Amino acid sequence: MSYTKASVGEGDEKAPGMHFLRETLDCENLGFTVLDAEAGWSGMEHDHAEDDHEEVYYLVEGTAAIEVDGTKVQLDAGEAVRVAPDATRTLSASESSTFVIVGAP
């Protein structure tokens, strides 16, 4: 089949509000995640150097920030940030927020 369709609820919920859709959509290289974060939520610091995956974080709604290699980058709804594979990052939401996160080598 030349396409795959899925809803967020069909994705693998890796953490509360964090739905991984890569396998559900049968993606070969692209990671696709939807995150509904509560106010005050903060993710873990991590990088993707081992997998050589860059990521783009798109804030659909809310107010949030991402700390990249020690630099805090504020995000408003409608803004996106690309992060290099070897950069450390920590995502946080100051109010209820929805993100779309994509990554690939």
Domain that holds residue 32: 12-104
Task: Please give the tally of structural domains in the chain.
Answer: 1
Helix (H, G, I), strand (E, B) or coil at 8: helix
Per residue of the chain (105 residues), give pLDDT as tens.
799 999 999 999 988 899 999 999 999 999 999 999 999 999 999 999 999 999 999 999 999 999 999 999 999 999 999 999 999 999 999 999 999 999 998
Inside any domain, residue 4: no
Inside any domain, residue 7: no
Inside any domain, residue 84: yes
Q: Are strands 80-83 and 71-76 parallel, antiparallel or unpaired?
A: unpaired
- Looking at residue 10, the DSSP 8-state letter turns out to be G
Whole-model pTM over 0.85: yes
Inside any domain, residue 1: no
Inside any domain, residue 89: yes
State the residue for tokens 């080598």.
105
CATH of the domain at 78: 2.60.120.10
Q: Which residue in 31, 38, 52, 41 sits closest to 100, CA to CA?
A: 31
Inside any domain, residue 5: no
pLDDT at 18: 94
| Range list of β-strands (E), the chain | 12-15, 18-20, 31-37, 54-61, 63-68, 71-76, 80-83, 89-93, 97-104
